A and B are shown apart, each in its own frame.
Chain A
């Protein structure tokens, strides 16, 4: 399972509140990713990191920020949650096998914004 955990696994929050999701990996992978998955859209990249303190935006980054102060942890923050951010959030790491390094996913966090 590539040693990826996500916390919390489920969260219900109210519009306007800040929310932080955590992704933790145990295998020292350099690249980490945050995706959201919604019906009709599939998986979409929010942000990714290519090292400690090195991050970049994905295709749906508005309303989200990330931080990576340690190799093993990648945090996703919703500064002021909105109902449109209700989704399932997946963290992934890029493995080191294969020519391109396949991405392996965590179990997901289901977030509901009321």
Chain B
């Protein structure tokens, strides 16, 4: 059974204080790992797809990295508008229909 665990559950940062969110996964044949951002009362918003260990993707203050066991979402010099819940999901090689397995998310709060 595919499993995704995100840590920490919640993270409070001061504006400008860089940090990382973790996504550990157990999956049979990873096809892709996805990061989403979710604001309160809204649907998840796609950020990145990572396909293989060693791959990195960047978008503004966010950088996602992937190893064979986990992914990190690095947030550099965050701003209050980066406050959101960040979700990680995996797609395994054996799943049909491009199904995703999600973690429970990390709730990030950035204080001004």
Output the least CB separation between B39 and chain A (Å): 11
Partner of A107, one of B43, B91, B103: B43
For chain B, what secondary structure do more than half of its interface residues adopt (helix, strand, loop), or is it mixed?
loop
Q: How far is the CA of A98 from the CA of B47 in the complex (A)?
A: 12
Interface size class of B (residues with CB under 8 A): 20 to 34
A-B contact pairs, 12 of them (CB 8 A): A42-B104, A43-B87, A44-B102, A90-B44, A94-B98, A99-B32, A99-B49, A99-B51, A102-B34, A103-B100, A105-B44, A105-B45
Q: Which chain A residues in 76-114 approach chain B with CB under 8 Å?
A: 90, 92, 94, 98-108
Q: Which chain A residues in 37-52 approach chain B with CB under 8 Å?
A: 40-45, 48, 50
Q: Does A27 lie at the interface of the complex (its beta carbon under 8 Å from any beta carbon of B)?
A: no
Identify the interface centre among A43, A44, A104: most chain B CB within 10 Å of its CB: A43
Do A103 and B98 contact each other (CB < 8 Å), given the known contacts A40-B104, A108-B42, A108-B43?
Answer: yes
Assess whether B98 is in contact with A101, with CB atoms less than 8 Å apart: yes
Output the least CB separation between B45 and chain A (Å): 8
Q: Does B97 lie at the interface of the complex (its beta carbon under 8 Å from any beta carbon of A)?
A: yes
Output the least CB separation between A28 and chain B (Å): 17
A contacts, CB < 8 Å to B: 4, 31, 40-45, 48, 50, 56, 58, 90, 92, 94, 98-108
Assess whether A100 is in contact with B102, with CB atoms less than 8 Å apart: no
Assess whether B100 is in contact with A45, with CB atoms less than 8 Å apart: yes
Q: How far is the CA of A101 from the CA of B89 in the complex (A)?
A: 13
Contacts of A56 in B (CB 8 A): 96-97
Q: How far is the CA of A50 from the CA of B44 in the complex (A)?
A: 21
- Kindly report which residue of chain A lies nearest to residue B105, judged by CB atoms: A42
Q: Does B74 lie at the interface of the complex (its beta carbon under 8 Å from any beta carbon of A)?
A: no
